[in-house]
Structure 1
Amino acid sequence: MNTVHGRHAWLLMSLVGIVGLSGSSSADETTREPRTESSSPVWQEKAVEYAQIMSRVKWTPVVEGMPKRAGFFEKGTEYTGIPYSSVKAEGRYIGFDIFLKTFLAAVENPQSVLYTENLSGKVTNAECYYGAVCSSYTSYALQCGNWYVSRLHGPPFRDGISLVEPQSAQFAKAGDLIYTPPSTPSGGSHIELVTGITKNRDGKVTHVRVEDSWPQTTREINRSANKFNSHIAARGRELYRITNLDAWRENNKAESFLFPNYDDDSATPVINRVLLLDRGDWVAYHKGQPVKFNVIDKDALGVKSLVIKRGDTVVEEINHPGKGVIERSFETCADYTAHCVMQDGSLSEACEFSVCDLDFSMPAEQVSKRKPWEIKFSAVNMKVIIVYLKNETNGYDEHNVFVSEQDQQNGKIVIPADLIQDAGKVQVWLIGENRYGRLKKRQDIVVND
């Protein structure tokens, strides 16, 4: 179980003025007003802190080829905020499926999936293999164990949340949500998080800072009160306030799972300068999936051998590997490390990864929504935690079904009757996790009336 407390020095430095100053060149207005709002409940303060773990991280691509909306991120250009990409079941969400440090390690590897994989054309609204979207960004900030899609953030889908009345900057608070409904029945919706309120000496709100995940990374806008009012009055937007976080999250509490891991995400990682994996570092692989070790030796110290270990057992030692990629696959599910022995006899930092098996089966190609149905699952070196159901014909018909300890012992879970609202094709994702991250496996099923 992860902990969701503790602040690290680098993060505190980056969050100076957290509730009053924009500090962002992307803001349309910035201000240094004399009084800031600071009397929020602890969870709201943490929501701002956690959102800004992701929105204020800085990274620089080391080669060309990392995809973004309508192009590529530029080599050697520093970016702020994690990349926008709706990775779905094919890629991995930063914060939920992988550590932030896993993404940062992948950035430093010119042969990582960030540069060699492109989800554009394969997955709707996706480009980069690691990324986030508006709903995963706010769900991470709001201490959820898995994301809620944006249109399910508010009533009638969630308890413990209500409209802010009046809908005005003067009544906004840090931690509030701005929901933009879809413009068409099949269109996309959007969710934003209020992260700062600035007041003048008379206690009047002068500016409201809002942050969200938006192409190409994250976005921060510090609007004047009037411009904020205009913003929430347009496009049918609504300003919401969570009044009871536990009621709003229900069983979907971050502290019930290994991820998100806010302590690891907020710490400054030490990125290996000699050896990196194609998926970065500190990461999970499916059984039999190729693991590509890239000997980069950034400081040109010379590499004598590459050593791959499973626990304390040496699996393989490759002498004089040179620079470049060495590919292996593993059929034994376990936790592994890989390190290099340098020419002077010293050892490099070790990359850490796990190999896991995750699988499931369903009763038939079609089921009735009016009857319960079973999913049988198995996992090795990983704990099955969630079955995520996504109806392709109704964007509101999405559900997290949490796997209990008894379900895990039984190796199966029952999907309740009438959980799925509309007949149609439903995506079924099995999600498992271990200390290195999460893996997802998807199958589809037709749900009939």
Structure 2
Amino acid sequence: MRVSVIGCGYLGAVHAACMAELGHDVVGLDVDEAKIEKLARGIAPFHEAGLPQLLEKHVGSGRLRFTTDAREIADAQIHFIGVGTPQRQGHLGADMRYVDSAIETIIEHAVTTDGPVLVSGKSTVPVGTAQRLAGRLDGSGKDLILAWNPEFLREGYAVKDTLHPDRIVYGLPEDRERGETAKAMLDECYATPLAEGTPLVVSNYPTAELVKVAANSFLATKISFINAMAELCDATGGDVTRLAEAIGYDDRIGPKFLQAGIGFGGGCLPKDIRAFMARAGELGVDQALTFLREVDTINLRRRDLAVELAENALKDRLVGKKIAVLGITFKPDTDDLRDSPALDIATRLWARGAELAVVDPAAGPELRERRPDLTVPETVDEAVAGADLVMILTPWKEFVELDPAVLIGKVGTPNIIDGRNVLDPKRWRDAGWNYYGMGRSESIW
């Protein structure tokens, strides 16, 4: 099929490359000239496993191209909208300017003389948005059908999640004939994953819009729940990792997202749950989501607790103390610094007078550009040399696998904060370290 993807950020660039891999002819459109220039040369503008190979393959073959010229999307049979919906400045709600602009671009340039053209939204939007946009398309004078097809990408696994998703969701028009047309076009587009047996959920617009924010809200709730338990463990001498293991064996609960630590971040979970609360308030059902306020509060409190833990480890003397921060992205296997708990914690420590040395396998170059006031060495050895405190804030594999017996010979004082509870406390303590976890006791068990 002939496909356009409007918005070539994290979601759009991955989706465009994967649509080419599925056999479609794809054009990606974005207003950011620097980003498009990189993509057009087959270079990924961000760190994502598998994406550079797909870009090189399909840009090279001509099946995938990128442009800032909206006229080049005119003949697409499906237009995917993959623009951002960031949190509005000073508000909880989502900023819909980019989605609205994408719709106007499609209306202006789409050619429908040969039959209906599908507009498929992938961006995470407040419930009710699709119906509003469908009305705008219906009144455009062109044969444009709207579907909502939410994305479920995990950073670090986005290519896999697009090519081999765990489910596909269609939100279709209530008009049966137009809904069936939209479904047939999406079925053709996703023929390969559907043939692999990927579950398909067909729904109306509101349900499809709610799926992504409901899923993210549930995951955020699970993370904040175990972090609340970590606070109780700190107060009572319990060990949250053993607690999570025990309750995780219950198949009604499961072990995933029960890793206590400094909390969640990134470009999705924080802003999505806040936008969800804001939309519930607009709909007059804000009480249905009041629990998300506590989820958000617990999550932000974890950052406060990490700073307090650092102060305790250094006897309340942060000024002039060298702290080695291992990991600055919001999660491993990405270079994404959006709402990163690690970056927030590091910034707070720096503001209190600590001398920071931050090392990250992927985000070092961007951090140097964004924060020239921070020391950003290339290696762990450089970062920890003479350090008074080491903090693991992002669980990159190379940090989790560090040898405490080797590392202790490089630091000034053997203090380590395990901000993600990924280390073996006994192993580190036996090697001579003062180990501090998040809700982990010194119990022999």
Please confirm whether the aligned pair reaches a TM-score higher than 0.5, indicating the same fold: no
TM-score class, shorter: under 0.3
**Would you tell me which structure has more helix in proportion to its own residues?**
2
TM-score when normalising by structure 2: 0.22
**Would you tell me which structure has more strand in proportion to its own residues?**
1
Q: Which has the larger radius of gyration?
A: 2
Q: Which structure has more RCO (C-alpha within 8 Å, separation ≥ 6)? A: 1
TM-score when normalising by structure 1: 0.22
